[in-house]
Amino acid sequence: MRRTRWFPFLLVASLTAVLCFLTLPVVAIFVDTGPLDLLSSLGEEGALEALRLSLFCSAVAVAVIVLFGTPAAYLLATRRFRGRAMLVTLIELPLVLPPAVAGIGLLAALGPNGVLGGIVEDAGIQLVLTTAGVILALTFVAAPFFLRQAQSAFEALDRTWLDASRTLGASEARTFAAVAIPTAGPGLVSGLALAWGRALGEFGATLMFAGSFRGITQTAPLAIYERFSTDFTGALALSAVLVAVSAALLLSVKLLSGQAWVGGGAGAAR
């Protein structure tokens, strides 16, 4: 009697369906865009500018997120206190917020008539319709991606490593810097890559909060949208460039970290 092997087939079929569905639009972008279109779209003044702005703003946003997010995630992962679950939920809220709502929220908080608008203005900081506003919007929507990943990376650490570090004469700060960060490295980097990816693709909140001005607030996704109505080929070409740049960026981040942590990631991967 033959054994029915339907279940492995089901698994393979599901994966095939998922893969086709998810890669088809990406593949289509490249298929529809000829190499010449790619080059000519890059030659356009606005396109390069938008791409440069996207990279700059997302890089600054990610730097801010990592700088503040890493210690914050460490605190959430290593301490138990009342209201902690509530705090985690609050921090994760932007994940489920529609980007347009995030933009409105930022306006309501930091806009000229916003809750903190007066303070921001008195400090002489222009946020709305400026590059700084773009960075703020990107930081807001991308931060939870890093925080979540960093928190679970720190939670997955073997606590005895941290305890051992203390008994070996290291302060808590040194334990954080010399043991927790390197051993949680792979998790932190994947959080960074996620946040960066989210920041590069950000559209709604940026549009609402910072607007779409060429060279000042028009990031690549906004530039694509602007072209979409008048120049579909140009939009397609810029999309292809954005996909390629994002993919290259994320891949290189992962590769770099993979090399730095060879042999060290065992614990964090658990």
Partner 1 sequence: MRVLRVEIATQLGALSLEVALEVQAGSCLALAGPSGAGKTSVLRVVAGLVRPDWGLVSCREEVWLDTARWIDMAPEQRRCGYLFQEYALFPHLSARQNVAYPLRALARGERHRRALELLDRFGVAHLADVRPRTLSGGERQRVALARALARRPDAILLDEPLSALDARTRASASREITAVLRETGVPALLVTHDFSEAALLGNRIGVIDDGRVIQQGTAAELAASPASAFIADFTGAVVLTGNARPGQDGLTHVSLDGGGVVTSTQPGDGRVAVSVYPWEIIIEPNGRPHPGSAQNHLEVEITSVTAVGNRIRVGLAAPQPFTAEISDHAAHQLDLAPGTRAVATWKAAATRLLSR
Residues 108-167 that bind partner 1 (CB under 8 A): 158, 160-161, 163-167
- Tell the smallest beta-carbon distance from residue 180 to partner 1 (Å): 10
- Tell the smallest beta-carbon distance from residue 139 to partner 1 (Å): 29
The amino acid that residue 128 corresponds to is V
- Tell the smallest beta-carbon distance from residue 169 to partner 1 (Å): 5
User: Considering the rule CB under 8 A, would residue 169 count as an interface residue with partner 1?
Assistant: yes
Q: Between 58 and 183, whose beta carbon lies closer to partner 1?
A: 183
Here the tokens at position 43 are 């030659």
Torsion of the alpha carbons at 86, 90, 91 and 97, rounded to the nearest 10: 150
- Kindly tell me the burial class for residue 171, based on how many C-beta atoms sit within 10 Å of its own C-beta (0-12, 13-18, 19 or more): exposed
Residues 176-195 that bind partner 1 (CB under 8 A): 178-179, 182-183, 185
- Residue 176: count of CB within 10 angstroms of its CB: 20
Residues 196-225 that bind partner 1 (CB under 8 A): none
Residues 206 and 222: beta-carbon distance below 8 Å? yes
Closest listed residue to residue 69, CA positions, set 170, 156, 139, 171:
139
Q: Between 151 and 165, whose beta carbon lies closer to partner 1?
A: 165
- Interaction mask 250-269, partner 1, x per CB under 8 A: -----------x-xxxxx--
User: Considering the rule CB under 8 A, would residue 168 count as an interface residue with partner 1?
Assistant: yes
Q: How far apart are CA 148 and CA 89, in angstroms?
A: 10
User: Considering the rule CB under 8 A, would residue 27 count as an interface residue with partner 1?
Assistant: no
Residues 54-93 that bind partner 1 (CB under 8 A): none
Closest listed residue to residue 137, CA positions, set 110, 106, 95:
106
How many chain residues are in contact with partner 1, going by CB under 8 A?
23
Q: How far apart are CA 89 and CA 193, in angstroms?
A: 22
Q: Between 201 and 265, whose beta carbon lies closer to partner 1?
A: 265
Q: Between 160 and 230, whose beta carbon lies closer to partner 1?
A: 160
Q: How far apart are CA 39 and CA 92, in angstroms?
A: 40
Binding-site member from 38, 75, 101, 170 for partner 1 (CB under 8 A):
170
Closest listed residue to residue 127, CA positions, set 53, 217, 62, 51:
217
Task: Count, in order, helices (H) and strands (E) of the chain.
Answer: 15, 0
Of 67-75, 128-136, 171-179, 225-233, the window that binds partner 1 (rule: CB under 8 A) is 171-179
Q: Between 136 and 184, whose beta carbon lies closer to partner 1?
A: 184
Q: Which residues bind partner 1 (CB under 8 A)?
A: 158, 160-161, 163-171, 178-179, 182-183, 185, 261, 263-267
